[in-house]
Structure 1
Amino acid sequence: MHMTATGICTAFAGTQRLARGTRAEVALAVRAALDRRENASILVFDDREARQLEFDLRGTPEEVAARYAETETTAGNEQEPASTEAPRGRGRPKLGVVAREVTLLPRHWDWLAAQPGGASVVLRRLVDAARHVGEAKDRVRAAQEAGHRFMTALAGDLRGYEDALRALYAGDRAGFDAASGAWPDDVRDYARTLVEGAFA
């Protein structure tokens, strides 16, 4: 199960997956399930961060579908504001290079001068490396938080929950898989997909 598309969510009725799709599709599925069983316990999670969603299910099915279809269309059509930057001067405009001042101590300039490729090349490489490390840590943290959110909501009373949580934060994929192995299939599979990035 691949879960990266924006606006995609999953509904659970108890520990069984009820529906997965756009908010409009899932809202209709939830509405139909509640019409069949008024007291059904249904939780809906967005597939990116596992945050719980609440739907306004008032009105006809057509009105419910239209309400969430409009929300998705609006979100999908957001445009970035026009750039207010002044035109670039000399440099390498095709590469998007921007000239700005950098203030360093003499020892920093001495070190940069001794590196192959020049100061600009070295600085760009250092910034890229730092960004890569930061992004990797952010991905791990986001996966841990999403998994924790979902597991607390649907797996908190299941055997192995605490062990799975410890394994998640320890980066122990085998431990997580073992601890979640006896969970209901839909809960286990969704949790494992959410936390995949924590073990990368």
Structure 2
Amino acid sequence: MTMIYPNTYTSFMGHRCIASGPMLANVLAVKKALESKLNDPVLIFDDVTGSFVDVNTQGTDEELAQRYAQVDVAEPEAEQVETDTPRGRGRPKLGVVPREVTLLPRHWDWLATQPGGASVALRKLVEEARRASADKDQRRQAQERTYNFMTAMGGDLPGFEEAMRALFANKLEHFQELLNTWPEDVRDYALKLLSGT
């Protein structure tokens, strides 16, 4: 069975980066590292989440290539509306998903007075909140991604706890100073995850 791995990954053997890129390249590097019989732990991390990824390296390189083939995930093409076919009854399909929302009576009263009704008002409120908090959300995701990686790779490194406090206090200069004593590949990858590049 071929799995779909649209993200990029980075692998470490001990504190040394051994691969970065598509899943297959990382799996092959990890297999080679495990065959070297060194005692250093070998881990693969998802570059999007910073989380450890468990893989099966058993089998030949060809079997691994089949199992972990990089599959380009294309955006699904938008459905084209045929102009010859008359439109059916009801509302057009706009990709809107109905879900239940629980609000207080005063919220429903306010929504009822909004132009376009409750659904339009809620969509506008959600879009406005998304725009207003976009920077904060990106920073939080970068911190979580960096935290995931650092807890797996840096828990025994000097200044780990203080670095975590600096990370979540958004004291980036202090965070970088603390990581200067860490192994170069671990430090560079943690900073890469934090910057989102």
TM-score in terms of structure 1 length: 0.69
Deviation at 1:12, TM superposition (A): 0.3
Report the equivalent of 1:68: 68
Distance 2:173 2:39 in 1: 37
Deviation at 1:78, TM superposition (A): 7.1
1:150-189, aligned counterparts within 5 Å? 150-189=149-188
Structure 1: gaps of 5 or more residues: 90-95, 113-118
Letter of the structure 2 residue corresponding to residue 163 of structure 1: E
Distance 1:187 1:88 in 2: 56
Deviation at 1:8, TM superposition (A): 0.6
The answer to whether the 8 A contact 1:10-1:26 is kept is yes
Q: Does 2:18 align with 1:18?
A: yes
Q: Deviations for 1:165-199, whole angstroms, at most 9, x for unmatched residues?
A: 001111111111111111111000100111225xx
Letter of the structure 2 residue corresponding to residue 12 of structure 1: F
CA 1:87–1:189: 2 relative to 1, 3 Å = farther
Deviation at 1:163, TM superposition (A): 1.3
Report the equivalent of 1:46: 46
Q: Deviations for 1:133-159, whole angstroms, at most 9, x for unmatched residues?
A: 333332222211111111111111111
Report the equivalent of 1:144: 143
Deviation at 1:38, TM superposition (A): 5.7
Distance 1:13 1:160 in 2: 21
Distance 1:36 1:80 in 2: 45
Structure 2: gaps of 5 or more residues: 81-87, 97-106
TM-score in terms of structure 2 length: 0.70
The answer to whether the 8 A contact 1:33-1:40 is kept is no
Letter of the structure 2 residue corresponding to residue 30 of structure 1: V
Deviation at 1:51, TM superposition (A): 1.2
Paired residues, what number? 170
CA 1:132–1:56: 2 relative to 1, 3 Å = same
Letter of the structure 1 residue corresponding to residue 174 of structure 2: G
139-148 vs 59-68, which moves further: 139-148
Partner of 1:76: helix, strand, or coil? Answer: coil
Distance 1:6 1:141 in 2: 22
Distance 1:150 1:76 in 2: 25
**Identity percentage of aligned residues:** 37
Distance 1:79 1:176 in 2: 41
Distance 1:7 1:57 in 2: 19
Letter of the structure 2 residue corresponding to residue 54 of structure 1: D
Letter of the structure 2 residue corresponding to residue 46 of structure 1: D
Partner of 1:150: helix, strand, or coil? Answer: helix
CA 1:40–1:183: 2 relative to 1, 3 Å = closer
For the aligned residue pairs, the C-alpha RMSD in angstroms reads 3.5
48-57 vs 138-147, which moves further: 138-147
